[in-house]
Amino acid sequence: MAQGHCYFGLQGDGFAREVIFNGAQSVGVCYGRIGDNLPNEQAVVGLYTSYGIKKMRIYDPNPATLNALATSPSIELILGVPNGNLQAIVADPFNAMTWIRQNVPSHPGVNIRYICVGNEVRPTDPAAPFVLPAMRNIHDALVSANNGIEPLIKVSTAVDGTLLGSSYPTSVGSFSDSSSSYINPIIQFLAEKRAPLLANVYPYFSYIGDPVNVDLGYALFTSPGVVVHDGVLGYQNLFDANLDAFYSALEKAGASNVQVVVSETGWPSDGGMAATIQNAATYYPNFINHAKNNGTPKRPARLIQGYLFAIFDENQKGPAETERHFGLFSPNMQPKYPISSF
């Protein structure tokens, strides 16, 4: 596999002026399309290729995106099933088979790694009762399309930190009483199928939720040493603490063998507290360098798999203004931070 390279050069003021990613093959970038000024899909796939980005997450089976990806099989894909489609997929297994037939074997050149059934569905959401049945139907449709053989494509769902009842210190991480009846059967399914849990992990939101007690450097990977001690484990950055809280919760749910893939992480460059170009230009390269070289304190031997959110600023996202400013690139495909390549 070709090696990308990207470096962050620091000027005398400590501000990151150039981004160069080097061999960051465990890191991908999410491609959202909630904007009215974004480039066409073929151009986007070309952008990924030109910067050596080897992993993409998309949130729906947009045919133009899948057609564009068919010419770039080196890009590994998380393919999303939107929350609004889950009920129909549960209503009739034939609908799941149709969804798979239209979006998987119909695009043989697309390198699909995971199918993400729903994104950040919470226990009280209308879609919640349909997540696990939809996961099962999608999985069974994949098996059927693969002549009855368990497929290499794994089926999962993406969750966020609101499902955790406790997360500090990391060792007490657990799913909340209100979410356990929802998430525990999903976790059991993942364990049975040897599939990972997808988790959206944002130190940014943890920081702005408690800026008095959470140091900005701890959130940006710039702390010079261990900040938080949790038994024999030491945490130098908030990302690892957030991720290990999920591992602690999985252990308490009897699923210590389930891996966590970070399906989103990022830092906004505008629109709210601590949302600056400088902070975003610090977070992204530091995360990449951390992920390509390290596991977490609880899982030190397992390199972090993560997806940066997102490739572009999306001007129709909301409601928070920060939601429009997570892009690595502006919609004109110019990097917001000087980028050489991944």
The DSSP secondary structure of 251-311, one letter per residue, reads HHTT-TT--EEEEEE---SSSSTT--HHHHHHHHHHHHHHHHH---SSSTTSPPPEEES-S
Among candidate residues 18, 150, 192, 264, the one labeled active-site is 264
Dist CA 72 CA 66 (whole Å): 10
Alpha carbon distance 308, 267 (integer Å)? 9
The 3-state secondary structure of 59-82, one letter per residue:
CCCCHHHHHHHCCCCCCEEEEEEC
**Furthest CA-CA distance within the chain:** 61
Rounded-to-integer distance, Cα 136 and Cα 89, Å: 10
Listed residue (202, 246, 264) closest to 58, CA to CA: 264
Report yes or no: 264 and 217 within 8 Å, Cβ to Cβ: no
CA pair distance 156, 136, nearest whole angstrom: 10
Pair of tokens at residue 307: 């997806």
Question: How far is residue 72's CA from residue 116's CA, in Å, rounded to a whole number?
Answer: 21
DSSP bridge pairs for 28: 307
Q: 339, 7 in Cβ contact below 8 A?
A: no
Closest by CA position to 237, among listed 271, 282, 278, 268: 282
Extract the tokens encoding 273. Answer: 């507290």
The active-site residue out of 18, 76, 120, 251 is 120
Task: Establish whether 120 is a catalytic residue.
Answer: yes
323 is catalytic: no
* Active site (catalytic) residues: 120, 264
